[in-house]
Amino acid sequence: MEKIRILVVDDHTLFRRGLIALISQASDFDVVGEAGDAIEALRLCKSLKPDVILLDNHLPGASGIQSLPDIFHASPDSTVIMLTVSEDESDLMQALQNGAQGYLLKTSEKDELLLGIRKAFEGESVISKELTHKLVSAFKTNTRKEDKPSNTSLAATLSPREIDTVRLIAVGSSNKEIARQLGIAETTVKIHVQHILRKLNLTSRVQVAVFANAEGIIS
């Protein structure tokens, strides 16, 4: 079985080492590197190309959220999960807008964290349940503030197959699961997701799920 290659980035050495010890207990995980600041993280991203990066926000110098564009430039195929103590709504939204696939709190239970890593690796967006209401509130506020077409007109731009894809994203299905349920290739699902994000002016699958709930698209 091919293991998920993980890079852990956190400036607190004791927490970082404890986290590495915890996730190393899972047989499908391989911690390939660790970093205590953004500069070292970028260097390791370039050389290691990890599958998943667990990234703290409060780092020396540039914050984790500020570092996201550089991280994706260094390792475009990596999946980033913010692992932080911050429950701030603006941190949550900025992380997702900058491309993070997940946002988990350091208070997460072990099972929630390990499952979150696996889901994010499979293409799902993961967010701590304590923060879901903040995401919905922030998304609705941003939608009202932005000078964009209404949600209804945006939804009308989606094809029937894209609507089906939105419904499945909203219930937490991975690309592989969507492909199986719709009887299409996983690469086709990825193309649909890209089109959906562009048409809806969104940046993450989490926002797609919120949009689907707000518009009553979920069947």
Separation CA 187–CA 192 (nearest Å): 9
Separation CA 154–CA 105 (nearest Å): 32
205: in domain: yes
- Same domain? For 69 and 125 the reply is yes
- Same domain? For 114 and 162 the reply is no
Work out how many domains the chain is built from and give that number: 2
Of the three residues 97, 131, 165, the one that is the final residue of a domain is 131
State pLDDT tens for residues 109-157.
999 999 999 988 988 888 888 887 777 666 556 555 454 444 556 678 8
Mean pLDDT of the chain: 86
141: in domain: no
- Same domain? For 154 and 124 the reply is no
Token readout for 160 is 């029937």
Length of the chain: 219
pTM attached to this predicted model: 0.72
Q: How many Cα atoms occupy the beta-carbon half-sphere of 84 within 13 Å?
A: 24
The domain that contains 70 carries what CATH number? 3.40.50.2300
Q: How much is the average pLDDT of 173-190? A: 90
Domain extent at residue 88 = 4-131
Query: In terms of Cα–Cα distance, which of 112, 107, 104 is closest to 128?
Result: 104
The domain that contains 210 carries what CATH number? 1.10.10.10
Separation CA 43–CA 3 (nearest Å): 22
- The identity of residue 95, as a single letter, is A
State pLDDT tens for residues 67-80.
999 999 999 889 99
Separation CA 26–CA 131 (nearest Å): 26
91: in domain: yes
